[in-house]
Every structure is written in C-alpha cells, then in structure tokens.
Amino acid sequence: MNGNGAGEQARSSDVVSVAAARGPLAMEAVSLAKDFRLGRGQVLHAVRDVSFALYRGAVVALVGESGSGKSTVARLLAGQERLTSGEIRLDGAPVDPSTRSAFRRHKSEVQLVFQDPFSSLNPVHTVRHHLERPVRLHQGRRSRAEVAREVAALLDQVRLIPANQFTGKYPYELSGGQRQRVSFARALAAKPSVLLADEPVSMLDVSIRLEMLSLLDDLRQRFRLALLYITHDIASARYFADEVLVMYAGQIVERGPAEELTQHPAHPYTQLLVASAPDPDNLGGGLHSFHPPGAALPGAAPRPAADSAAPSAAATYQPAAANLTDRGCPFSPRCPFADDRCRAEDPALLPVAPARAAACWHLDIAAPEVLAGEQRGGG
Amino acid sequence: MSPDAPVLDIKDFSVVYRTPGGDVRAVNQVNLALHAGEVVGLAGESGSGKSTLAYAVCRLLRAPALITGGSVTYQGRRAAGPTDVLQLRGHELQQLRWREIAIVFQSAMNALNPVLNVRDQITDAIHAHLRMSRREALDKAASLLDLVGIPRSRLRSYPHELSGGMRQRVMIAMALAAEPEIVIMDEPTTALDVVVQRDILAQIVELKAELGFAILFITHDLSLLLELADRIAVMYAGQLMEVAEAAEITREPAHPYTRGLLNSFPSLHGARRELAGIPGTPPDLRHPPPGCPFLPRCGYGTDACRTVDMSLERVESSAGLAHLTACPFVRPETPAPEPPAASAEQEMRA
C-alpha cells in the first residue's frame, strides 16, 4: 500500500462529515483493515484503511459493487469478523468484541440487518420466537407479559399491524417485505444506537423498496439511530443518505454529501457508477452509446468495462483481482485516465472540496469542476 | 407470411394454479404480441404472473399449473407457417424450444449445473437440440463464448469459478446456441450490480442488432425497461394493465399502477422528485376482488371500479396507435389525485 501511511490517513479525516450536523458521534471506524488468506501465499485485502464515522440520527451510505468489501466492513463493525488492523470506537471508547461478554455488550449497541429476508429468518421458528429471544437477552425482561408487550410494541413500530396477527406466523407465511420488517424489529429489540443495514431492500420489489426505506428513515428519526446503509444502488443513496462513501476494492475512493457526490462525482469509479444507473430520462439511446463521462474528453479511452469485442474484458469485471494487488490504484485497470503513476502508486483519500474527499491522481482531468468548487452552485 | 405478422401472438391467454384452497388465477386473459426483432418488456411485482406467462407460453409449466384458455401462435421466419404452440406434443415441443424460443433463466447460479464445466454445459444443450458432431459442438461452444466476450480459456471453468456477470453471460451464450427467433429473458440482471448490469444490457442490445432475435424481457424494475425496450407491457395481478411504447410509458403513463411504478424508483439524474411508491400489497389471486385488481391501492378509485371491464383499450389522446390501457377512467391527461393524509409518511424526507 504505497503512499497510504498514517500521515495521509490523518489528512482524509480532516474532511468533516455532513452527517455530523445531525447528531453526536456514535461510532467510529479508524483505519479498518481485513485480510483473508487464500492459500498459496495469496492474501485478499478485503478492506484496507477504511475510516469513517456514524452519527446519531444520520444516514451514511456505503456504496460499491459486489466484492468491494462493503459487507465485510459491516461485519467488522458488528464484531462478527476480527480486524486485521485498525480500531472501532463506540461513543469514543475503543471496543474489542472478541471476547464473548464484550461481543454481547457490543451487539446490544450495534445491530446488523441482512440483505436476504428469506435466509436471515429461521424457517422453523415463528415471528414471536425471533423477537422474544433478543428482548430477553438484551433488555433483560423476564416476565411473560412484559416480553409479550415488548414484542407487540416492536411489531407495531415496524408497522406489522395488528401485531397479534403476525406473532404466530412462520417466515414462509410472510411476504418479502413483511420478513424484512421482522428483521428490522429483531434488530430494534436490542435497543441499539447503531444500525448496520446491509442491502436491506435489494431483494425486494421496486414498488415496496421505497416503503421500506421510508420505514427505516422513520425508525432512524424516532430512535435517533446512527445508520449505515450499505447498497450497490447509488440512486437510493442519493435520496436516503446524508453522506455517501464509495468503496472500490476494499478502499474508500470517494466520500461526500449525498447530493453533491451523486450529481458531481469526482472519482472516475463514482462516475462509472453514476453513468451505469438506469436513466429513465435517457430513453433508448443510452444503452447503445454508453460511455463514462470521461470518455467525452479528447483522447480518453473507450468505456473501460467489458466490451464484447475486447479480449481482456474478463479481467475488468473481476473486482476481486484488484484486492490482491499491493501496488497502484486498484481502479487503474478499468480507469480511462490511468497512466504509469496510477499503476505504480496508490493515491490517498484527500480533501477536494468542503466535506468531500477523493482518492485519485487525476482529479484535474476527471473532475475539474469539483476541484474548482463549481458544484457548490449547482448542487 | 405477411411482413408485420408477429412472431409470437398471445391471445386471451389464462393460466391457473390448482390448489386445495381454490384456483390461483396467475395469468388472466392476456393479449400480447411480439414482432420480429422487437424488445418487449414485461414489468410487474413478484407474484404478478409475469414469469408464469413466459413459462406457460413455452409450455414449461406442469401441474398444478394449467392453461385454461386462449391461444399462442408462433410464426418464425424459418417456419413454414403459423404454429399453434398449445397443440404441440413431445418431439414438436423439443423442436420449438431452444431453436425457436430460448430462455435465459433468472439466477444463473441455480440454472447452471454446478458439477459440469462451461464446455460440457454448452455442448450438452447443443446435442440435445441440434444435430452436430462433437467436434462441431466444441467449436460452437467456443464461438458462443467469443460472442458474449468471455475468453475461451473459461470453457474449462466450473460455474463457481465464474463471477455473477460471467455466469449470466454463459446463460445468454447458451440461449443463443441455436440462433433462436425469440429469447425470453427472466430477470437476467437482477442479482448483478449496476455496472455489470449495464454491460450485460448493452451486450444484449448489441447481440440483438447482430442476430436479429426478438426479446421478451421480464423484470420488476421498470426503470431498466424504459431504456431497453421498444414496447412495455405492465402486468399486475395476472392481467395486463397497460401496453405502450417505452417513450409513451415514460412521458404519458395512463394507468394508475404504471404511474405508481414510475414514481417508485429514485432517479440519479435530473432534479430530485417527490417519491411516493405504491403502498399496500397485491391481492390474493385465489379470491381476486371484483372489477379492477388494483383498486385497493389506487388513488383514483371510485365505486365504478368494482364492476369495470379490464380489457385493454386504446388511449385515444395518445399519439401512438399501440398505447393500450386497462383503466377506462384515468387518461394520461388526468391530474394526479390529492394524496390521502396517511400517505404523507410514505414520502422520503427531502
């Protein structure tokens, strides 16, 4: 990891998160790193030098493609994976959830909601069973009546109403949306301060995604949750989040306020993500003449990702390969602006505008208007 | 064969699932035509019957699914005359599937055989449907991979060694093995992330231009279809709600359900819009409500909707001749209804 020493990491944390305006600091990730050994001496750097903070009442979105390490970040924060290096702080104090009792304490503050409501609920247990356990474990309630009252209140909070119609049901009797509501209720049962939502709506129908996100938003407000929203859908992050972190090959390559970042992406990868989102206003033509924004520049390479004619296409949609290299910018194999420097040295995440940072050597070509601060007027 | 005869003509088509609790009317009186080289998008929520429709058309469903009415006529450019798909038996069906109508199934991980490598997978399909020597089949497999941009070295790979995008490309390559007239794609990009999804869609468009097949593209994500499809059919509770050219669906949606779908996805480009989504759940198709199935979730509903005839009618005010809607009351020019007070909480915060 050339050029990503402690000095630069301090500089990236100079960026004041817009999420901070919403409430007090709840959780901090400081230079998180996670390596997985693959055998044959290969090491996969699933997460490298990731730092950010979550604030009460604020939504931070972590956006990236499959294999970018976003779920691993969630699992690290939830204490389900051991850190290779770095530190997690909760309310300012470092936490080490590796012992059993510490893990339990950690879980009652930090809860995780999974992507797939079809496999994250136990098919042989009722809704009641899924909720009673965390109520007993984390709230320490003992009497039957108390537990039943709390379970009903939880179902009410996620709008599974009337609650008594749902307590006796098994997961197979519920729709995908209802199952995900049960997952939310189960997470809330621990009365957490931090909720990590790993792709909470991507398995659901488009028509009910919005309802689920507004439910999540409602819960965030009501319980002042610090919310980490993990998604590959950068459009939903625009509407839902305060701050967006864009992750690629285990690193944060860009961060900034949601509206500004999505409307004026600085990093070439963010530009590719934004250009790839379906655009209903761009009828028909879009798919036939798709190019990343940078390709409009004279001399820029054609679209970096798989072209059916390009023999090297296969390498480009294997992001995992980028986690294996130690040298250079991980996005350089797909980047239209990449040169020798990009392939040799990894750029650090540096401030580019108020509350924004990006890790790219060529921001002057890729996003001159962001550097010039012009997006302040438009965004 | 007249030049504008559709390659696939579905008329008054109905499918039920026989269950102990009564018939589930999964597909109800659907009329849809697919022309040569056309991309028709079929959009709807889970359970709306869109996959059932596509599989039933290929006669891929078995009991308790039952085709209860209607006709499906296939007329390919290579075929001598129109074929009544519902009358085909055994060997004739084998001739139709893959050679004339191929399917790219949802979730490529499950659709590919995990213990066969890519080469065996593709040559198996080729041997089942085409008369070819082993040598020819191997060449064909390799050239199919070229077609979808996967290096030939991947012929020896097993499905678990491929990325999600590559698996989906293998599925597409297999579907194209016999140069079919129609390719049915059932949520081919749903499990993939946006960049890969975009690449695959662009590739589908390229292949279509090169090989000239027609596509029936099934998805729950209307935003994809707006860019990809020539025409879009919106399905709800087993019935078609609206059929129109993609541009018309975007600019002047007629049916309230289509309007709801268009208002469900956050857009990345352009100004922030007020999003509403569609509150509520689809009806139980065992006991469908009388009249319009969308009534309980519809902001425009009146008492007249309980007895309404849901057959598709042309939208008079629309420029396109093929703009059809099942709602006789709401027209593109109809203003949006006043939102009920309860739906205020559905709106995302600004």
Residues B87 and B20 in one domain: yes
Instruction: Tell me if B271 is assigned to some domain.
Output: yes
Sign of CA dihedral B194, B196, B201, B202: positive
CB contact under 8 A, A317 and B202: no
Q: Which of B250, B261, B269 sits opposite A283 (nearest CB)?
A: B250
Report the SS3 class of residue B222. Answer: helix
CB contact under 8 A, A211 and B262: no
Instruction: Tell me if B3 is assigned to some domain.
Output: no
| Tokens coding A127 | 């809704």
ipTM above 0.90, yes or no: no
pLDDT in tens, A196-222: 999 888 888 887 888 889 899 999 999
B230: left (phi over 0), alpha (psi -120 to 50) or beta: alpha
Report the CATH fold assignment for A1-91+194-278+315-363: Rossmann fold (3.40.50)
What distance in Å separates the CA atoms of residue B279 and residue B257, rounded to the nearest whole number?
Answer: 11
**Half-sphere CA count of B152, side-chain side, radius 13 A:** 7
Question: Where a domain ends, among B182, B209, B229?
Answer: B229
Residues B180 and B112 in one domain: yes
Instruction: Tell me if B330 is assigned to some domain.
Output: yes
The residue of chain A nearest to residue B297, with distances taken between CA atoms, is: A207
| CATH 3.40.50.300 intervals, chain A | 1-91+194-278+315-363
User: What range does the domain containing B86 cover?
Assistant: 8-229
Contact list, B207 vs chain A (CB under 8 Å): 308
CB contact under 8 A, A239 and B266: yes
pTM score of the predicted model? 0.81
What distance in Å separates the CA atoms of residue A279 and residue A287, rounded to the nearest whole number?
Answer: 10
| Tokens coding A99 | 């012992």
pLDDT in tens, B13-64: 999 999 888 888 899 999 999 999 899 999 988 888 888 999 899 888 888 8
Interchain CB contact of A267 with B (< 8 Å): no
CB contact under 8 A, A273 and B195: yes
Q: Which residues, 6 or more positions from B41, have their beta carbon under 8 angstroms from its beta carbon?
A: B217, B218, B219, B222, B224, B225, B228, B229, B231, B232, B233, B246
Under 8 Å CB pairs connecting chains A and B tally to 163
Instruction: Tell me if B1 is assigned to some domain.
Output: no
Q: Which residues pair with B104 in a beta bridge?
A: B185
| Alpha carbon of A79: minimum distance to chain B alpha carbons (Å) | 26
pLDDT confidence bin for A245, thresholds 50/70/90: very high
Q: Which of A218, A232, A306 sits opposite B194 (nearest CB)?
A: A232
CATH number, domain at B84? 3.40.50.300
Whether omega before B290 lies within 30 degrees of 0, making that bond cis, reads no
Interchain CB contact of A156 with B (< 8 Å): no
Q: What angle do CA B290, B296, B300 make, to 5 degrees?
A: 105
Q: Residue ranges of the alpha helices (H) in B159-305?
A: 164-175, 194-211, 222-228, 246-251, 256-262
Enclosing H/E stretch for A219: helix A206-223
DSSP A358-377: E--TTHHHH-HHHHTTTHHH
Question: Where a domain ends, among B204, B229, B254?
Answer: B229
Q: What angle do CA A269, A270, A276 make, to 5 degrees?
A: 90
CB A356 within 8 A of CB A261: yes
CB contact under 8 A, B264 and A234: no
Which residues, numbered 173 to 202 in chain A, qualify as contacts with chain B under a Cβ-Cβ cut-off of 8 Å? 175-177
Residues B66 and B155 in one domain: yes
pLDDT in tens, A5-64: 444 444 555 677 888 888 899 999 999 999 988 877 788 889 999 999 999 999 999 998
> Worst-scoring range by mean pLDDT, A284-293, A362-371, B194-203?
A284-293
| Tokens coding B256 | 């309230």
Interchain CB contact of B211 with A (< 8 Å): no
3-class SS letters over A227-251: EEEEECCHHHHHHHCCEEEEEECCE
CB A240 within 8 A of CB A247: no
Residues B217 and B242 in one domain: no
Instruction: Tell me if B259 is assigned to some domain.
Output: yes
